[in-house]
Protein backbone atom coordinates (compact mmCIF):
# COMPACT_ATOMS: atom_id res chain seq x y z
CA UNK A 1 0.00 0.00 0.00
CA UNK A 2 1.40 3.37 -1.01
CA UNK A 3 0.62 5.77 1.85
CA UNK A 4 1.51 8.87 -0.11
CA UNK A 5 -0.93 7.96 -2.87
CA UNK A 6 -3.63 7.15 -0.31
CA UNK A 7 -3.21 10.51 1.45
CA UNK A 8 -3.18 12.46 -1.83
CA UNK A 9 -6.32 10.63 -2.97
CA UNK A 10 -7.99 11.46 0.34
CA UNK A 11 -7.00 15.14 0.12
CA UNK A 12 -7.60 15.52 -3.60
CA UNK A 13 -7.24 19.15 -4.70
CA UNK A 14 -9.68 18.59 -7.54
CA UNK A 15 -12.36 19.81 -5.20
CA UNK A 16 -15.52 19.43 -7.23
CA UNK A 17 -15.03 15.69 -7.64
CA UNK A 18 -14.14 15.23 -3.98
CA UNK A 19 -16.81 14.08 -1.55
CA UNK A 20 -15.08 15.95 1.30
CA UNK A 21 -15.66 19.28 -0.44
CA UNK A 22 -19.39 18.66 -0.74
CA UNK A 23 -19.59 17.55 2.89
CA UNK A 24 -17.74 20.73 3.94
CA UNK A 25 -20.10 22.84 1.80
CA UNK A 26 -23.17 21.22 3.37
CA UNK A 27 -21.80 21.58 6.91
CA UNK A 28 -20.87 25.23 6.27
CA UNK A 29 -24.37 26.19 5.14
CA UNK A 30 -26.07 24.05 7.78
CA UNK A 31 -24.04 25.75 10.49
CA UNK A 32 -24.62 29.21 9.02
CA UNK A 33 -28.39 28.73 9.04
CA UNK A 34 -28.47 27.18 12.52
CA UNK A 35 -26.41 29.86 14.30
CA UNK A 36 -28.31 33.13 13.79
CA UNK A 37 -26.15 36.01 15.08
CA UNK A 38 -24.28 33.47 17.18
CA UNK A 39 -27.49 32.17 18.74
CA UNK A 40 -28.62 28.60 18.06
CA UNK A 41 -31.96 28.71 16.29
CA UNK A 42 -33.49 26.15 18.64
CA UNK A 43 -33.36 28.86 21.34
CA UNK A 44 -35.56 31.07 19.14
CA UNK A 45 -38.05 28.23 18.73
CA UNK A 46 -37.99 27.43 22.45
CA UNK A 47 -38.53 31.09 23.35
CA UNK A 48 -41.52 31.18 20.97
CA UNK A 49 -42.99 27.97 22.42
CA UNK A 50 -42.23 28.35 26.13
CA UNK A 51 -41.65 32.06 26.75
CA UNK A 52 -40.64 33.16 30.25
CA UNK A 53 -37.06 32.29 31.13
CA UNK A 54 -36.37 30.92 27.64
CA UNK A 55 -37.38 34.31 26.20
CA UNK A 56 -35.17 36.14 28.68
CA UNK A 57 -32.25 33.84 27.87
CA UNK A 58 -32.70 34.47 24.16
CA UNK A 59 -32.84 38.23 24.59
CA UNK A 60 -29.74 38.20 26.81
CA UNK A 61 -27.75 36.03 24.42
CA UNK A 62 -28.78 38.14 21.42
CA UNK A 63 -27.84 41.33 23.30
CA UNK A 64 -24.41 39.90 24.17
CA UNK A 65 -23.76 38.73 20.59
CA UNK A 66 -25.05 41.94 19.00
CA UNK A 67 -22.74 43.98 21.23
CA UNK A 68 -19.85 41.64 20.42
CA UNK A 69 -20.46 41.84 16.65
CA UNK A 70 -20.78 45.62 16.68
CA UNK A 71 -17.64 45.96 18.82
CA UNK A 72 -15.61 43.83 16.41
CA UNK A 73 -16.90 45.82 13.43
CA UNK A 74 -16.12 49.13 15.14
CA UNK A 75 -12.62 48.11 16.25
CA UNK A 76 -11.39 45.92 13.39
CA UNK A 77 -13.95 46.36 10.63
CA UNK A 78 -11.70 48.25 8.21
CA UNK A 79 -8.79 45.83 8.67
CA UNK A 80 -11.10 42.83 8.28
CA UNK A 81 -12.63 44.35 5.14
CA UNK A 82 -9.19 44.89 3.59
CA UNK A 83 -8.06 41.36 4.49
CA UNK A 84 -11.29 39.85 3.20
CA UNK A 85 -11.12 41.82 -0.05
CA UNK A 86 -7.53 40.74 -0.61
CA UNK A 87 -8.33 37.10 0.12
CA UNK A 88 -11.42 36.94 -2.09
CA UNK A 89 -9.70 38.78 -4.93
CA UNK A 90 -6.72 36.42 -4.73
CA UNK A 91 -9.00 33.37 -4.72
CA UNK A 92 -11.03 34.74 -7.65
CA UNK A 93 -7.94 35.49 -9.73
CA UNK A 94 -6.20 32.21 -8.98
CA UNK A 95 -9.42 30.27 -9.46
CA UNK A 96 -11.05 31.80 -12.48
CA UNK A 97 -8.15 33.43 -14.35
CA UNK A 98 -5.42 30.88 -13.63
CA UNK A 99 -7.85 27.92 -13.44
CA UNK A 100 -6.86 26.60 -9.99
CA UNK A 101 -9.86 24.46 -9.07
CA UNK A 102 -9.11 24.48 -5.35
CA UNK A 103 -9.26 28.30 -5.32
CA UNK A 104 -12.52 28.23 -7.27
CA UNK A 105 -13.96 25.91 -4.65
CA UNK A 106 -12.83 28.10 -1.76
CA UNK A 107 -14.16 31.22 -3.48
CA UNK A 108 -17.55 29.58 -4.03
CA UNK A 109 -17.78 29.02 -0.28
CA UNK A 110 -16.11 32.25 0.85
CA UNK A 111 -17.91 34.81 -1.29
CA UNK A 112 -21.45 33.87 -0.18
CA UNK A 113 -20.32 33.50 3.43
CA UNK A 114 -19.06 37.09 3.17
CA UNK A 115 -22.59 38.11 2.24
CA UNK A 116 -23.83 36.21 5.31
CA UNK A 117 -21.36 38.17 7.45
CA UNK A 118 -22.62 41.48 6.00
CA UNK A 119 -26.23 40.42 6.56
CA UNK A 120 -25.33 39.53 10.16
CA UNK A 121 -23.80 42.94 10.79
CA UNK A 122 -26.82 44.68 9.26
CA UNK A 123 -29.22 42.62 11.39
CA UNK A 124 -27.15 43.29 14.52
CA UNK A 125 -27.21 47.03 13.79
CA UNK A 126 -30.97 46.93 13.25
CA UNK A 127 -31.57 45.07 16.52
CA UNK A 128 -29.29 47.46 18.41
CA UNK A 129 -30.85 50.57 16.86
CA UNK A 130 -34.47 49.51 17.43
CA UNK A 131 -33.98 47.61 20.69
CA UNK A 132 -35.92 44.61 19.37
CA UNK A 133 -37.34 42.33 22.04
CA UNK A 134 -39.93 39.57 22.27
CA UNK A 135 -41.87 38.68 19.13
CA UNK A 136 -40.19 41.43 17.08
CA UNK A 137 -36.76 39.99 17.93
CA UNK A 138 -37.81 36.43 17.16
CA UNK A 139 -39.27 37.56 13.83
CA UNK A 140 -36.08 39.47 12.96
CA UNK A 141 -33.95 36.40 13.73
CA UNK A 142 -36.29 34.16 11.73
CA UNK A 143 -36.13 36.50 8.72
CA UNK A 144 -32.34 36.60 8.96
CA UNK A 145 -32.25 32.81 9.06
CA UNK A 146 -34.58 32.58 6.05
CA UNK A 147 -32.36 34.98 4.09
CA UNK A 148 -29.28 32.89 4.96
CA UNK A 149 -31.08 29.73 3.86
CA UNK A 150 -32.13 31.27 0.53
CA UNK A 151 -28.59 32.51 -0.06
CA UNK A 152 -27.33 29.03 0.84
CA UNK A 153 -29.66 27.35 -1.65
CA UNK A 154 -28.59 29.71 -4.41
CA UNK A 155 -24.94 29.26 -3.49
CA UNK A 156 -25.15 25.47 -3.42
CA UNK A 157 -26.99 25.47 -6.76
CA UNK A 158 -24.37 27.71 -8.41
CA UNK A 159 -21.54 25.67 -6.89
CA UNK A 160 -23.12 22.41 -8.07
CA UNK A 161 -23.58 23.72 -11.62
CA UNK A 162 -20.01 25.07 -11.71
CA UNK A 163 -18.66 21.82 -10.23
CA UNK A 164 -20.50 19.69 -12.76
CA UNK A 165 -19.20 21.89 -15.56
CA UNK A 166 -15.63 21.53 -14.26
CA UNK A 167 -15.97 17.76 -13.92
CA UNK A 168 -17.47 17.52 -17.40
CA UNK A 169 -14.67 19.62 -18.91
CA UNK A 170 -12.03 17.45 -17.23
CA UNK A 171 -13.70 14.23 -18.36
CA UNK A 172 -13.94 15.22 -22.04
CA UNK A 173 -10.50 16.79 -22.38
CA UNK A 174 -8.07 14.56 -24.24
CA UNK A 175 -5.11 13.16 -22.35
How does DSSP assign 5-46, residue by residue? HHHHHHT-S-GGG-HHHHHHHHHHHHHHHHEETTEEHHHHHH
3 part of a folded domain: no
Number of domains in the chain: 1
What string of pLDDT tens digits covers the 175 residues of the chain?
677 776 666 565 578 888 889 999 999 999 999 999 999 999 999 999 999 999 999 999 999 999 999 999 999 999 999 999 999 999 999 999 999 999 999 999 999 999 999 999 999 999 999 999 999 999 999 999 999 999 999 999 999 999 999 888 877 766 5
169 part of a folded domain: no
- Print the domain residue range for 148: 21-163
91 part of a folded domain: yes
15 part of a folded domain: no
Sign of the torsion formed by the C-alpha atoms of 7, 12, 18 and 20: positive
Per residue, the 3-state secondary structure of 123-143, as one string, reads HHHHHHHHCCCHHHHHHHHHH
Amino acid sequence: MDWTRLILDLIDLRSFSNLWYWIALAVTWSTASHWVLGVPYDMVLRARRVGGQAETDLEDLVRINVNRILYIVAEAGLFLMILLSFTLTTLALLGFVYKVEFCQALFLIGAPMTLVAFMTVMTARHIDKNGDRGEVLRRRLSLHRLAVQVLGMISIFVTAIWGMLQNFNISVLPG
